Amino acid sequence: MTPEELDAVFAELDTERDERRRMAWEGRRVLAGRWHWPDGVLAECERVERLHPGWSPFWRPADERTGQPAGYTARRYEHWGEPGVAGETPDELAAAIETAPPRRGLGDITPLKPLKSD
């Protein structure tokens, strides 16, 4: 994505929520460089995000300890405590997003147990 195209995307972002999304978008670009993501992976994450703007796609390397292969993962921007979705390819990730259950409402959250007092 050229700087001009990126500016056009950011020009559409004008609320506080969109500011957080812009920061996440920029943060993903920084991490992709620092963590040496393979060529094309960042562009695929950005493509999936443009298709599903309420989600934050990310790439993860293979984890030799757990045997988890490299792939893509995403979480909803406003609901980080909810489970995310994953796919080995960007298209699998997009399909997982499309079939993800609707986000939980406040009434669906289990309240915390009160702390025991000494």
Q: Report if residue 108 sits inside a domain.
A: no
Q: Report if residue 114 sits inside a domain.
A: no
Residue 99 burial class via C-beta count within 10 angstroms: exposed 0-12, middle 13-18, buried 19 and up? exposed
* Higher-scoring residue by pLDDT: 98, 77: 98
**Domain that includes residue 76, residue range:** 3-98
Sheet holding 85-87, edge to edge: 55-60, 71-76, 85-87
Q: Given this model, what pLDDT does residue 109 score?
A: 47
Residue 45 burial class via C-beta count within 10 angstroms: exposed 0-12, middle 13-18, buried 19 and up? buried
State which H helix or E strand residue 32 sits in.
helix 16-34
What does the alpha-carbon distance between residue 17 and residue 2 come to, in Å, rounded to a whole number? 24
Tell me which amino acid residue 77 is. Y
Q: Report if residue 104 sits inside a domain.
A: no
What does the alpha-carbon distance between residue 23 and residue 52 come to, in Å, rounded to a whole number? 17
Q: Report if residue 103 sits inside a domain.
A: no
Q: Report if residue 50 sits inside a domain.
A: yes
How confident is the model over 23-72, as pLDDT tens digits? 888 999 999 999 999 999 999 999 999 999 889 999 999 999 999 899 99
Q: Report if residue 74 sits inside a domain.
A: yes
Q: Report if residue 118 sits inside a domain.
A: no
Q: What is the pTM of this model?
A: 0.70
How confident is the model over 61-96, as pLDDT tens digits? 999 999 989 999 999 886 667 789 999 999 999 999
Q: How many domains does the chain have?
A: 1
